[in-house]
Amino acid sequence: MIRATGTIRNSRTRKIPIMPVDEVKKKYRGFFDHVCNSTVYVCRWNDNAVVTLASNHLTHHPIGSVQRYSQSQKKHVKIRMPEIVRRYNTSMGGVDILDKLLSSYRPRLRSKKWWWNLFSNALNLTVVATAQGIAQRWFHCPVTSGFQKRCHNTPIRAKPRLTIRTGRRAHPPETLRITEGYYLEPISQRRCRVCKKNCRLHCVECRERLHRKCFPLYHRVST
């Protein structure tokens, strides 16, 4: 069984038979309510704010204590803290540190591939987890420089560049252009091949934009 402990949004606990948040707020600081079935334990604790936690392996036993500053008494007082809250706070410290280190030296490469973020985060997580007891900066530098040297010594074969011809389109073959008897049909707007004005007609045979008055000129006279 995979052990898990985490917080739950209050909107997700409407069907759980536990004391509502508004009622818990009215209780003293350190008050908690709990409910458990055969698999999941849910605890709602009143601190600065009401927090709800769930776990499949922790409960409120043993109940400990923690110091909090009391505005009414103007001093630090001890309040009750369930074991599930204490263990969650202890474990979250390591998660917060891991998130901080991951964000400090996160790879800056961009990609449109959907899997790139998962791949780069997995590599970054491996480096951060390996560098235990070593400053992240001094650990990342030799790893990065060694990777760059290895890639630099490996010959890279570039793909051949494709040359794209740009410029004015050539006329269709003479045997096709000077034929007669074809008709025009509507199409998207482009320049007419004869008068150079906007035209929404083209010849069905040669596929050139032509006005009705320019059609016979183009198909009879060589340009």
> Does a structural domain hold residue 77?
yes
The overall pTM is greater than 0.85: no
Does the structure show a pLDDT above 90 at 42? yes
> Does a structural domain hold residue 169?
no
Domain limit, last residue, from 72, 92, 112: 92
More confident residue, 156 or 171: 171
pLDDT in tens, 82-132: 999 999 888 877 777 777 777 777 777 777 888 888 888 888 888 777 766
Domain limit, last residue, from 92, 123, 148: 92
Work out how many domains the chain is built from and give that number. 2
Q: Angle 195-201-205 (CA atoms, 0-180°, nearest 5)?
A: 100
Q: Which of 207, 161, 164 is nearest to 183 (CA)?
A: 207
Does the structure show a pLDDT above 50 at 223? no
pLDDT in tens, 168-218: 667 666 666 666 556 788 999 999 988 999 999 988 888 888 898 888 888
The boundaries of the domain holding residue 183 are 175-220
> Does a structural domain hold residue 41?
yes
Predicted confidence at residue 17, as pLDDT, reads 93
> Does a structural domain hold residue 129?
no
More confident residue, 129 or 46: 46
> Does a structural domain hold residue 99?
no
Predicted confidence at residue 107, as pLDDT, reads 73
Predicted confidence at residue 20, as pLDDT, reads 93
pLDDT in tens, 160-169: 665 666 666 6
The one-character DSSP state at 117 is: H
> Does a structural domain hold residue 136?
no
Domain limit, last residue, from 92, 112, 130: 92
Predicted confidence at residue 11, as pLDDT, reads 85
CB 66 within 8 A of CB 79: yes
Rounded average pLDDT over 148-156: 59
Q: Which tokens is 132 given? A: 């235990």
Predicted confidence at residue 176, as pLDDT, reads 62
> Does a structural domain hold residue 185?
yes
CA atoms of 152 and 146, how far apart (whole Å): 10
Long-range CB contacts (< 8 A, 24+ apart) of 157-164? none
Strand ranges in 18-91 using DSSP code E only, listed in sequence order: 32-36, 41-46, 50-55, 64-70, 75-81
pLDDT in tens, 58-79: 999 899 999 999 888 889 999 9
> Does a structural domain hold residue 135?
no
